Structures are given as structure tokens and as C-alpha cells.
Structure 1
Amino acid sequence: MQQVKGVIARAKDAPVELVTINVPDPGPGEAVVTIQACGVCHTDLHYRQGGINDEFPFLLGHEAAGVVESVGEGVTEVAPGDFVVLNWRAVCGQCRACKRGDLQYCFATHNAKQRMTLEDGTELSPALGIGAFIEKTLVAAGQCTKVDPEARPAAAGLLGCGVMAGIGAAINTGALTRGRSAAVIGCGGVGVAAVAGAALAGASPIIAVDIDPAKLEAATKMGATHTVDSSRVDPVEEIKRICAETYEGAEGADVVIEAVGRPETWKQAFYARDLAGTVVLVGVPTPDMTVPDLPLIDVFGRGGALKSSWYGDCLPSRDFPMLIDLYRQGRLDLDAFVTEEIGIEDVEAAFEKMHHGDVLRSVVVL
């Protein structure tokens, strides 16, 4: 066992604390990873606010990259010294989804069996089964995805959640390709990543929708061909107009990605898509939100698909190395998502900046 420093949320809405944490030696199928960088994701704030569950205290942080320090019995995926991005989809290989070849939908993803604890023995609940605002963390070995060690940790770690969710919503869930149009509603970190994914897929036009000029500018830098300030114009009509200019007869975008997680913007996405178009929900709603009232004839008459995107429907072992290679080639600017690098003691201040929409990502560098 080792003792290291980490950031916890002890109670609902309480300020986070930097405390000493006991990290067990890895057991069978587990690994200890020295964390080099970890992004401050909105999901961590949800944990602190009690919006995920009430299993306090939480060890926060999950968008992380680092180096494997040690592994337990039976681990073959990674070895000490490997540079890895952590993921929360360690596939089981045995459930119905895995057996039919849909590993990205694994119904039984797993985490480390042992628990990290406070000095008094109180067990911690690691965010998304990872817990990476810490000097070293214990995870299931399947949560470690080996990537090119030349990648910058602060950028690479962002694939662990938000950036992968956005890129995957465009490429995996939305199945964007050349000759198809895309619109992204909500241009925070996940939405801007969806824009980047649409650009990688060759979609055109790529329409970014938000009410914040800075976020629309960020989307433009990542590949948006058009921007829409939805505080000034009707975004549904504007998306339709832009798409009709490009493709004669188009009644909206082929794929509309909702990256806010609200009924109002989901309804906009529903009506902003073309006939037989696809809506992809990647924004995370709260438990009290419901699907807005829609005439059933509109659901039937427009055809197409209404999808949810879990983690960008990614398979980390397939997608992380590919995206890191694109980053190393200069074709995917992961560095653009890193607004600031901060110390582990600055997480609470980063939550405040996130709340005000001042950053795409603050990244804790250890």
C-alpha cells in the first residue's frame, strides 16, 4: 500500500479537499497508474453536487493520462512503464453485447475490485471508476489504454471522457461521412469535440450553435464552417437555410448533435434535421428532465433515427490510439482543448471557471 495526495468531495456541495489517500497494491487484473495530467470535467462537478449518486466521499477526476507503475497477477494488456490514457469502458468480453461483437456497448464494464481509502479506512467512490485527481490511482487493467508516449499528457488525457464523447458522437454514433451535413448544438468541450469529429469525417457544412461568441470561435477553429448565435436567430430555421444552400432540397442537417442535455435544445435538434436524418444526444440531462411533447406524426413522418451516445460509442483500445496518432500527425488539435494547466490544489477554482463558461478544459498537471 502507498499513501498519496488526492482530491475528494466529502459531502454534497461541500468544497473539495486535498487529503492523504491509501492506494492498495494492485491485485489480480488491476494496475496502479502514476497520474501525469487529468482534465476537470463537468461530470466531476456533478459528483460533487450529488447529481450522480450519494455514495460520498468521492475521489474525483477521470480524464487522465499517466504511466503504469505496477500491475497485478494475470495482467497482459499493459506493463510497468507504459504510457496510458484511462477509460471507463473496460469491456468484459462475456456479456451479450461483447459476444455479438458490439464491445462498445458492453453491459458489464468493470473497475478495480479493491477500494482506495482515507487514512481512517473510509472507502472512496472513484469518479467513473477511475478517481484521477491523485498522484497515483488504482484501476482495472482494462481501463488502461496504451498510446504513443510522445503525446502530451495534458492533451492525451482528455480522450478519457469529454473529447472522446464528442468525437465519437459525430463519427461512431452519428456515422458522419463525406457528403453529409452536421449541426452541433452546444459548443462546450464536448460540442467542440463533436465539431472536430465532424471535420475529421469530412462532413460539410458543419454548423455550430451556441449563445457564447467565444465558444463559437472555438468551434470555428476546430472545423465549423458556419456558426449560429441562437440568442439572436432561430437556430432551427438557420440550420435549414444553411443546409439548403449546400444541398438542394435539404430540410435540415443529416446529423444534429445535441451537446447540452436539455429538452429545449433536444427539440431543436429534432426539428433541425433533414428527412431521414439523425439526432444524437450526447449532452447529459438531469434525472428530472423528460422528452418534450412531440406530435407522434412528426416522429413517424420525418423517419431517421433518434440516438443516445454513450461515451461516443467508443472502443478505447481501437479509438484512443487512432486519435492520438491523428494528434501526433497534426490532424487533430487536442492542445486546443486545454485552456489552462493548473495544480492539484486548484480544482475548486476550476469548477468555478467551468460554471461561468470561461474554459473548454482546465487540466490538472501533476
Structure 2
Amino acid sequence: MTQQVRGVVAPGKGEPVRIETIVIPDPGPGEAVVKIQACGVCHTDLHYREGGINDEFPFLLGHEAAGIVESVGDGVTEVAPGDFVILNWRAVCGQCRACRRGRPWYCFATHNATQPMTLTDGTPLSPALGIGAFAEKTLVAAGQCTKVDPAASPAAAGLLGCGVMAGIGAAINTGNVGRGDSVAVIGCGGVGSAAIAGSRLAGAAKIIAVDLDERKLEWARKLGATHTVNGKDTDVVAAIQELTGGHGADVVIEAVGRPETYRQAFYARDLAGTVVLVGVPTPEMKLELPLLDVFGRGGALKSSWYGDCLPSRDFPLLIDLYQQGRLDLDAFVSETIELDGVEAAFDRMQRGEVLRSVVTLD
């Protein structure tokens, strides 16, 4: 039997979002219906609204979410009704060449629910990242649900579903930050600040935060940055080199996704150091580097997609660290809002006033 719930829909390119009635089908084989408790407002949702992902409007927005499994379809064994879960947008298949080689975090055949959610007139909705969690309930593939400690705050836990996991994973999984390393993070929004927190967890000795906004640099300090650089009036590469004995950082994490900041990251790393790109570029951007410099400096140039995470492995671990007081997920929650506050939250996000606004639902 279908259900009708409220959800936030982007009706067309650049149009303000609005609250609509969403029709949720019963879960089919391999699917689950989840009652959403909290969902973060991420830049990716704004990219959907602006048509920056694709043009498959209307979109049901929201994806950084936590909630309670309400019902499951046939064949679902990994979660059950009543479980507290974090939603992820990469349910691994277990069968592709990456999964068979023991590298499921690179799964090449991730999947979502097969049934559509719709408007009341039958118009199918495109759920953001296969989730669509700015809604009272949503339908997902059961593999998109990761069971974690129900004592965790939903507003904090849900952020692991995208941006915070991307940043922490960029440092720990992709960058392999280790004890005593020097790390520079360029761009200190939600993802960059999470990379700083991840570097601190990994035991980095020096963590250099780089941004143009003093508010973001202050957030970075609270999350573990040992030094800050305001790139508005400072040569970023020279400043990072000066703070690392003239050598450059062992790992530089670029969390902006622009050619000019990537060049800064490339030249701000030590010889044989690592650059990690976790900022998301737009399709028209091009990068030009002297090939001799790429060869001569050695090291590794990596891209980090979703922090190279494996939700079943990483989400419970990070929630445990949160519960132990070793990872301050609450620090990422700048404000809590209701469903009808998403459009205004986009504005505050664009002005750099928040790390994360989080929609909370009863």
C-alpha cells in the first residue's frame, strides 16, 4: 500500500524548491522504506536544483540522512524494521570486478531502489543521489542503509552520508595520512573541515587550513587545524612551504575543485608527496601543468570520490569515535531547520555562513 508524505522538490532548473506531496510505494525486493529523522543541506542538492548534475527534473532533494527503517522488501537481510541507519549513495553490488578483487569501495555497479517515488499526479521523481531524503520518508535500496548505534544524534550521524565522510575519507582512505605527517587542506567548507578532522584522527603533526574566509578558518581551528593561511592576501604555496621547513606538506587535500587551487595543491606538496582532489569541478574546467613537473616531483596525484569509503566499514567506526568524544560531528551542525527552510538554507550556504544546516523531522 502506498504512502503519501511531504518532501522538498526542485521543479525546474534554477526554480525555488517547494514542498510537495510525495507518493512512496511499498518496498520491493531488495528495497527499504526509511523514516527520515535528519538530513543535511549539501552543495550537491543545490547543484541538482541548478541543473548542474543533469536535467532529469523534478528532483526530490536531500541525501545526507539518518533515520529508522520502517519496512523492507523480500530478500533483505542486512537491515530490519526499527534499525537506526545512515543512508549512503553507493550501495555496493558485490559482483563487479572491483568487488570481486576485494575493493568494494571502488564498486563499479552501485545501485538504488528500482521503483520510482512520484508526485500525486504520477510524475516520477529523480531522488538526489538515489536517496531523496528531504522528505518524511523515502524509498532506497537496502544496501544504501548502514546500521549504526541508535544512541547517536541523527542530525550529526546523517552528515556521514556525504560531505563529512568525503572529507574524512579523503584524508584517511585516499591520502593515507599517518602519524607525524604534515597536511594542508585548501578550502575549509564542510568537506575541507572534515578532512582536517580526519587528519587529526590519523595523528597528523601539522594541519594547515587554507581559505579566503576567516569564519571558515576559525571552524578549521576548532576541528584540529594547527595553522591557518588566508589566501586572500597571502601566497598560499609559499606559506605552506614556510610552515613545513621549506619542503611542502606530505599530503595536500584540495577541497575546492578549481584549477587554480589544484595548482596550489600540486606545488605546495613535498617531493614525493600526495595531492588529493576531493573538491568537485564543473565540466568545463581544464587543468594545465608542465608534464616535466608531474614527472619530476614524483609522489601521487589522487582523486577521492566519496572519500573512498565503504559505508558498512566506515560509518559504524566513525559513529563509535563520535560516541567516544574523539570525533566532534556536532561541530558540523550549524543550525537545525524544518523542511520549509531548505531554500533559505541554500542562501546561507552560498554566503558561507554555515558548515551545515540540517533538516530535522519528528
Task: Give the TM-score taking structure 1 as reference length.
Answer: 0.98
How much does 1:233 deviate?
1.0
1:296 to 291, 297, 300: 291
How much does 1:179 deviate?
2.1
- The residue that corresponds to 2:115 in the other structure is 114
1:347-358 map, 5 Å: 347-358=342-353
- The residue that corresponds to 1:324 in the other structure is 319
Structure 2 alignment gaps of length 5 or more: none
1:34-45 map, 5 Å: 34-45=35-46
1:110-159, Cα deviation, whole Å (9 max, x unpaired): 00000000000000000000000000000000000000000000000000
How much does 1:323 deviate?
0.2
Q: Secondary structure at the match of 2:276?
A: strand
2:261 to 241, 249, 265: 265
- Kindly report structure 1 stretches of 4+ aligned residues shifted beyond 2 Å: none
Structure 1 alignment gaps of length 5 or more: 245-249
Equivalent AA in structure 2 for residue 124 of structure 1: L
Equivalent AA in structure 2 for residue 283 of structure 1: G
Q: How many residues align?
A: 360
Retained in 1: the 8 A contact 2:156–2:332?
yes
Q: Secondary structure at the match of 2:244?
A: helix
How much does 1:294 deviate?
1.3
Q: Secondary structure at the match of 1:81?
A: coil
- The residue that corresponds to 1:225 in the other structure is 226
2:282 to 280, 286, 303: 286
- The residue that corresponds to 2:198 in the other structure is 197
Equivalent AA in structure 1 for residue 77 of structure 2: T
1:233-275, Cα deviation, whole Å (9 max, x unpaired): 101011011111xxxxx61001000000100000000000000
Q: Secondary structure at the match of 1:283?
A: coil
Q: For the residues of structure 1 that align with 2:180 and 2:225, how far apart are their CA atoms?
A: 15
Equivalent AA in structure 1 for residue 35 of structure 2: T
2:359 to 341, 345, 364: 364
How much does 1:89 deviate?
1.1
- The residue that corresponds to 1:247 in the other structure is none
Q: For the residues of structure 2 that align with 1:145 and 1:83, how far apart are their CA atoms?
A: 8
1:198-222, Cα deviation, whole Å (9 max, x unpaired): 0000012100000111100100001
1:162-177 map, 5 Å: 162-177=163-178
How much does 1:351 deviate?
0.4
1:1-366 map, 5 Å: 1-244=2-245, 251-291=247-287, 293-366=288-361
How much does 1:305 deviate?
0.7
Among the aligned pairs, what percent are the same residue? 77
Q: For the residues of structure 1 that align with 2:244 and 2:81, how far apart are their CA atoms?
A: 51
Equivalent AA in structure 1 for residue 292 of structure 2: I
Q: Secondary structure at the match of 1:207?
A: strand
Retained in 1: the 8 A contact 2:180–2:206?
no
Q: Secondary structure at the match of 1:139?
A: strand
